[in-house]
Amino acid sequence: MRPPVAVIEKLAFGGSGVCRIDGKVCFVPLSCPGDEVSLHITTQKKSYCTASIAEIIHPSPHRVVPPCALFGQCGGCTWQQISYPVQLESKRNILAETLWRGARVPADLIGDIVPAAMQYGYRNRLQFKVSVLNGELSIGFYRQGSHQVVNAADGCPVAAPVINQVLSCFRTLLRSYPDVEMVSQLSIDAGDSGVLVIIHQSGSVTAKQRNFFLGRTGDFGACTGLFISTDKRSPSEKLWGSPDICYHMGGANDRKQVVLSYPPGGFAQVHQLQNQAMLAVIRRFGDFTTAEQLLDLYCGNGNFSLPLAAEVASVTGIEGNADSIRAAEQNRVINSVANARFFCDDAASGVRRLAAEGRQFDTVLLDPPRAGAGDALSGIVRLQPEKIIYASCDPSTLARDCGLLAESGYAVVESVPIDMFPQTFHIESVTLLCSQKG
């Protein structure tokens, strides 16, 4: 039987191209819209199938040469073979289609996507997997669908250059580490100044291991702080250098910039220029006045709260991670912000408590994890804000939550996609919902 032939029509969330085989939707990884391809069917489901490319018969005019030698092996980037304008168009279309299916948001409410000025060399946070097989050290990323490490010998093209420089130093260092088989991961974070490295390993940290690294501080390159971690539930142990990583936020027009830090292993956005772009969209949506009360749910280290504090009467931040709240409070003090308060609490229980206290907020800003806001939505509605500004990293859960908020009288006014992750299918967005009551 001859392999089926199809033309790739568009891209789907998840990274695959989409075509049709005998009327059935087919998902094809590593394809590009406009490709004419012969296919090898890999799975058959009732409503769809998946396939791999057997041959590119006619390549799409939008297909480009991936700059990374590991593309197609590494499970990280999925769209390096696609021109950047098509990546942007596809992300906007995916967000529009998802919001229409899940919440009946019209496509004309989806704004132009905010492109990234840097499509490579942008990531300031990366986790590199480590393995030793037959005496050979590999540091890189998992192969797609496996736990086999693909060795990124030349670094990662989407990583900030300083991260690749530090990775090269630690690759050399770990080759002489006697217990390298215990190491599972290197986490490297780069701020506006400084680079933190966390070595993740199994077993207890011994004095011999500490002394190995402390005796080689000259081999760390641009690294300014070294930590070691043996348990995700326990804080990382500082071995050497600075305990924090810092970056700047704010700076819109004549607004004062704030300096923000977060602890080793803490959360921060991976693309700082696009983090600033998100803040600009939030500012536009909020159109804040100095009389407003702002609630920031999932506030992290004060990433949005503290830059916005000077524009409102008060900010209340809620975050479930205690380390992030400690960082937010530290950042509040460092930046002399007097009108912000931060509380460590689950978002759902936090908004219930605020509603029970009779608190009122003009605007609720939320930036939840991929699972979305979930149980916190009913509490947000009880607070009766005029505006809800929803920063999302998952179109599906955003659509679900917008649908639920619509049932409580909140309508989407505008949603703006932001390309936080060039060369991948991931989509960041900021959505404004306004109360239709009164």
Active site residues: 393
Cβ distance 297 to 347 under 8 Å?
yes
Element (H, E) at 317: strand 314-319
Residues 6+ apart with CB under 8 A from 395: 13, 94, 95, 98, 99, 427, 429
Cβ distance 434 to 387 under 8 Å?
yes
State the DSSP code for 255: P
Output the six-digit token pair for 112: 């132009």
- Alpha carbons within 13 angstroms on the beta-carbon side of residue 27 total 13
Q: Which residue has the tokens 């939505």?
A: 377
Q: Which whole-number Å values give the CA distances from 74 to 11, 19, 34, 77, 183, in the listed order?
A: 19, 24, 24, 7, 20
- 133: how many CB neighbours lie within 10 A of its CB? 10
**Nearest in space to 30 (alpha carbons), one of 64, 50, 62, 53:** 53
- 131: how many CB neighbours lie within 10 A of its CB? 20
Residues 6+ apart with CB under 8 A from 131: 137, 138, 148, 149, 184
Output the six-digit token pair for 22: 């005998």
Output the six-digit token pair for 141: 């990323």
**Nearest in space to 330 (alpha carbons), one of 317, 347, 349, 346:** 317
Cβ distance 363 to 292 under 8 Å?
yes
Please compute Rg for the chain using Cα positions.
23
Count of H-run helices and E-run strands, the chain = 9, 22
Alpha carbons 139 and 125: distance in angstroms, whole number = 15
Alpha carbons 80 and 72: distance in angstroms, whole number = 9
